Structure 1
Amino acid sequence: MIHSALEFLTQELNSFIKLKVGDPITNRVVLSSVTNEQGIAIPDQSLGLSLINIEEERTSKDQQNRFINAVGKVEKRNPDIQLNLYVLITANFQNRLPNNSSDDYVEGLKQLSYAVAFFQSKSVFTQENSPSLAGFDGDLKKIFVELYSYSFEQLYNFWSVVGAKYLPSVLYKVRTIRVQENAIQQSGDPIEKIYLESRHKP
């Protein structure tokens, strides 16, 4: 479920940037961790889409745990878990290629601006307005993407934790991803009638 949502967003963002730059072939966005043992894991001249945190959405938690299935039986299973994903989009353009203007700081900012423009123009994804969503995971019905601002202190702490120098980046909150394994805990017939027996003392 999580991987499907992020693979879908990576594909959608790639399609948008291909149109903006007029290059239908080259993928400019990769689903990747920010760093690895060798340093920055995002390929040079690329935007990296990275999951940096997962939280449970509690404000709209559905406590219903009994459902009637297609044959009229009552099934008991745990309520859905709703997840919010914090996704960082990072521009890795560090002038590694001499005399190549496509591999410089300004180009990285331009590509990052395309990402911001994309999610500004389309922040809600459904199977109706994005048919490919169903192809990634039929259970993904709707994804909301919103810009998430964090403080300079949080920014400094994050890059200190990952052990890398800061790269231009923007953080998004992707909500809500529903997780339901449909593991049936109990099954039985529904209660259709209630009989009351009253007894009177003589």
Structure 2
Amino acid sequence: MLHSVLEFLTQEINGFIKLKVGDPSQDRIYLSGVTNETGIAIPDQSLGLSLINIEEERTAKEQQSKFINSVGKVEKRNPEILLNLYVLITANFQNKAQLNDTDDYVEGLKQLSYAIAFFQSKNVFTPENSPAMAGFDPNLKKIVVELYSYSFEQLYNFWSVVGAKYLPSVLYKIKTIQIQENAIQESGDPIEQIFLNSLHKS
């Protein structure tokens, strides 16, 4: 489920940026970790979309665990898990492939602006307005993406943890992803009558 959401959004952003730059052949953003053992993992001269945190959404959590199925049996399943995903879009434009010591800073900002413009123009995705969703996961019903601002201290701490120098980036919160495996814990007949013992000892 998580990979389907992120792969779908990566494809959608790619399509938008390709239209903006007029080059349909070259991918502009990749689903990638920010760093690996050798340094920045995002391909040079491109954007990277990286999952950096997963948070459980507790405010709207379903508490019901017993359901009546289509044949009238009672089934017990664990409540679904609702998740928020925090995704970082990073511009890695350092001209490493061209062995050029100068950073292509302006081009990186331009490409990052395209990604921001994409979510400004469309931040709610459903199978109705985005038919490609069904091809990634038929269980995806709705994806809501919102810009998430974090402090300079949080920014510094993040780049310190990943062990890399800061690159231009923007953080988004993706809400709310439903995880439900529908594994049946118990099954049985529903309770239809309750008998009360009305006899009292004298």
Q: What is the TM-score of this pair, normalised by structure 1?
A: 0.94
Amino acid at match of 1:84: N
**Per-residue deviation at 1:43?**
0.3
Equivalent in the alignment of 1:65: 65
1:159 aligns with 2:159: yes
| CA apart distance, 1:94 | 1.2
Structure 1 residue 195, shift from structure 2 partner: 3.1
Partner of residue 199, structure 2: 199
- Asked if structure 2 preserves the Cα contact closer than 8 Å seen for 1:95 and 1:105, the reply is no
Per-residue CA shift, 1:5-39, capped at 9, x if unaligned? Answer: 00010011111111111111111110000000110
Counterpart of 2:119 in structure 1: which amino acid?
A: F
Summarize the alignment of residues 96-175 of structure 1 with structure 2, pairs less than 5 Å apart: 96=96, 97=98, 104-175=104-175
* Whole-Å separation in 2 of the counterparts to 1:152 and 1:200: 73
Q: Which residue of structure 2 lines up, in the alignment, with residue 90 of structure 1?
A: 90
TM-superposed deviation, 1:139: 1.3
In 2: Cα distance, 1:51 partner to 1:5 partner = 11
The separation in 2 between residues aligned to 1:154 and 1:54, in whole angstroms, is: 16
How far apart, in 2, do the equivalents of 1:24 and 1:130 lie?
A: 19
- Quote the offset at 1:201 in angstroms: 5.0
- Shift of the alpha carbon at 1:72? 1.5
Gaps of 5+ in 1: none
Partner of 2:176: 176
For 1:83, the aligned partner's letter is L
Within-5 A mapping of 1:41-56: 41-56=41-56
SS of aligned partner of 2:178: strand
Q: Hey, what's the Cα distance between the residues in 2 that align with 1:196 and 1:36?
A: 67
Identity of aligned residues (%): 80
Post-superposition CA distance 1:103-145 (Å, at most 9, x none) = 7111110000000010011111111111111111111111110
Give the letter aligned to residue 94 of structure 2: Q
Aligned to 1:10: 10
Number of residue equivalences: 200
How far apart are residue 183 of structure 1 and its match? 1.2
Residue 69 of structure 1 deviates from its aligned partner by 1.4
Q: Name the CA distance, whole Å, in 1 between partners of 2:190 and 2:49.
A: 47
- In structure 2, the partner of 1:27 is 27
Compute the RMSD of aligned alpha carbons.
1.6
SS at match of 1:185: strand
